C-alpha cells in the first residue's frame, strides 16, 4: 500500500490516519517523532485493527464500553495500586523521585485513566503517560481529554525501537490470548530504551480477584469473562524470553477504595462502581430495587474477596485488609475491597 493510501485508512472514529498524525504532530511533537506507521507489516496491522472489536469498543447495547467508561469517572478508586505500578515502572521509591521527561507507555490504557491518575500524583505534571489501546472509542476519549494516545494492538506497535522509558501491561492482561502473550512482551521490550522497565500486572490465576472474574463477572455480565489469568512462572518466563533482566515477580496490594459521607453511602458507591465496571447487568431484574441490587453486589464482593488461604499474612504488605470493609476515617467513611495483584518487573 502506498503511503498516501495508508494515510486515508480509517483509524479512529471519524478520523483517518493522516488526520490523526497531523493532530499528534501539532499537539504532542515529541510523541509524534517516535511514531512508525510505515513500519513493515503496518498496513496489515491497521487493517486488522479496524476488523477487530472487543467488548470495550462497544456500548451498553452489546458490550461493556459505556458502563466501563462511566465507572471510570470515579478515577481514584484504584489509585493505590496504580501508584505502586508507576514507581515500579520508574524504579524509584516514590512519585516525587520520578524524573522530569520520563515516559511510560500504558499498553492497555483504555480511555487514559492511568494517565489522569498519574497527572494527579506527579509532582511536576507533564504528559508522562502515553495511552495505547486497540479500541478506537477509548483512544478517541483519551485524545479528547487532551492526552497523548495511540490506537494499536499490543501485539504490533506503531512505534520505533527504544522510544519510551517504561511500558505497562495492566488491568486487563488476561484479555490477551495466552498464545499472544510472549509476542506482546517482546513488542513492549522492543520499544523500551536501554535501562527501561516493563511492568506486567494481573490477578493471579486461582486468587480471589481472579475468582471474582470467573464466578461473578463471567456469570452476570453480558460479555462474559472467560479468560486465563497469569501465573507467576508465566510472567517471569515471558519477561526473560523478551530479553529482560533483573526479573522479579511480587504481590502488590491493589484495593478498590471509595469515600462517602456515611457508611451506607461509601458502601453503595462501591457497589455501584462494581456493577458498572464489570457490567453486571445479569443481577438486575425489572423487579429488583436499587437497594437490593447494591446489597447483592456487596454480598458477592464480601464472599469473593474474603481472605484467601493462598496468601501468607505479609504477602501483600501491612495495609492489606483481609475482607471488604467499611470504616471511618476522620469525617469520612471509607469502603475498601482488598485485591492482591501479581506484578512482574523486568529491565532492558
CA angle 248, 251, 256 (to 5 degrees): 140
Question: Which CB, 152 or 268, lies closer to ligand SAM?
Answer: 152
Min separation Cβ 109 and ligand SAM, Å: 5
Residue 11 CB neighbours (<10 A): 24
Min separation Cβ 151 and ligand SAM, Å: 9
Min separation Cβ 58 and ligand SAM, Å: 10
Contact positions toward ligand SAM, by CB under 6 A? Answer: 54, 56, 72, 108-110, 113-114, 133-135, 138, 153-155, 171-172, 175-176
Min separation Cβ 128 and ligand SAM, Å: 15
Question: Which CB, 201 or 348, lies closer to ligand SAM?
Answer: 201
Question: Which CB, 134 or 334, lies closer to ligand SAM?
Answer: 134
Min separation Cβ 245 and ligand SAM, Å: 25
C-alpha cell at 127: 504528559
Question: Which CB, 133 or 204, lies closer to ligand SAM?
Answer: 133
Question: Which CB, 31 or 171, lies closer to ligand SAM?
Answer: 171
Amino acid at each position: 500500500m502506498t503511503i498516501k493510501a495508508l494515510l486515508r485508512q480509517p483509524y479512529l472514529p471519524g478520523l483517518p490516519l493522516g488526520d490523526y498524525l497531523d493532530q499528534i504532530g501539532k499537539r504532542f511533537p515529541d510523541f509524534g517523532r517516535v511514531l512508525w506507521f510505515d513500519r513493515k507489516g503496518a498496513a496489515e496491522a491497521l487493517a486488522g485493527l479496524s476488523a477487530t472489536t472487543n467488548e470495550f469498543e462497544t456500548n451498553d447495547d452489546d458490550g461493556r464500553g459505556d458502563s466501563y467508561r462511566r465507572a471510570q469517572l470515579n478515577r481514584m478508586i484504584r489509585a493505590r495500586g496504580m501508584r505502586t505500578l508507576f514507581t515500579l515502572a520508574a524504579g524509584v521509591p516514590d512519585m516525587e523521585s520520578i524524573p522530569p521527561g520520563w515516559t511510560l507507555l500504558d499498553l492497555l490504557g483504555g480511555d487514559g485513566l492511568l494517565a489522569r491518575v498519574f497527572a494527579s500524583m506527579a509532582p511536576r505534571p507533564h504528559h508522562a503517560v502515553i495511552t495505547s489501546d486497540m479500541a478506537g472509542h477509548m483512544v478517541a476519549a483519551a485524545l479528547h481529554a487532551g492526552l497523548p494516545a495511540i490506537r494499536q494492538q499490543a501485539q504490533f506497535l506503531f512505534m520505533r525501537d527504544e522510544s519510551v522509558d517504561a511500558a505497562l501491561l495492566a488491568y486487563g492482561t488476561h484479555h490477551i490470548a495466552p498464545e499472544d502473550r510472549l509476542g506482546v512482551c517482546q513488542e513492549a521490550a522492543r520499544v523500551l530504551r536501554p535501562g527501561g522497565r516493563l511492568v506486567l500486572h494481573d490477578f493471579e490465576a486461582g486468587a480471589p480477584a481472579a475468582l471474582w472474574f470467573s464466578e461473578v463477572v463471567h456469570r452476570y455480565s453480558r460479555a462474559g469473562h472467560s479468560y486465563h489469568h497469569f501465573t507467576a512462572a508465566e510472567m517471569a518466563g515471558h519477561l526473560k524470553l523478551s530479553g529482560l533482566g533483573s526479573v522479579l515477580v511480587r504481590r502488590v496490594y491493589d484495593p478498590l477504595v471509595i469515600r462517602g459521607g456515611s457508611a451506607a453511602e461509601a458502601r453503595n458507591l462501591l457497589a455501584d462502581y462494581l456493577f458498572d465496571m464489570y457490567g453486571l447487568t445479569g443481577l438486575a431484574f425489572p423487579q429488583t430495587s436499587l437497594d437490593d441490587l447494591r446489597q447483592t453486589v456487596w454480598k458477592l464482593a464480601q464472599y469473593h474477596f474474603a481472605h484467601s488461604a493462598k496468601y501468607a499474612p505479609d504477602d501483600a504488605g501491612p495495609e492489606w485488609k483481609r475482607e471488604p470493609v467499611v470504616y471511618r476515617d476522620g469525617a469520612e467513611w471509607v469502603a475498601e475491597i482488598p485485591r492482591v495483584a501479581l506484578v512482574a518487573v523486568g529491565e532492558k
